[in-house]
Amino acid sequence: MTDYKWAYHILCAAASHALDVLPDTPENAAGRTVIQEALLEAEDVCIESMEEDERSAER
């Protein structure tokens, strides 16, 4: 079985690290924004999924 949570963790950690080391210059602004927005969206999806799992477990 594929461990999507671990894959998500690896990808998000790498993207976060890339933002940390990517110079904050005007040339990088668009790329930084794309990565930051994707990380926030992925976090929302993960949270919603965990909440759905918890609700299902309570039933």
Confidence of residue 1 (pLDDT cuts 50, 70, 90): low
pLDDT value at residue 46: 82
For the segment 32-48, the average pLDDT, to the nearest whole number, is 90
State the average pLDDT for the chain: 88
* Structural domain spans, the chain: 4-58
pLDDT for 31: 93
What is d(CA 54, CA 41) in angstroms, rounded to the nearest whole number? 20
Angle, helices 29-58/4-21, rounded to nearest 10 degrees? 150
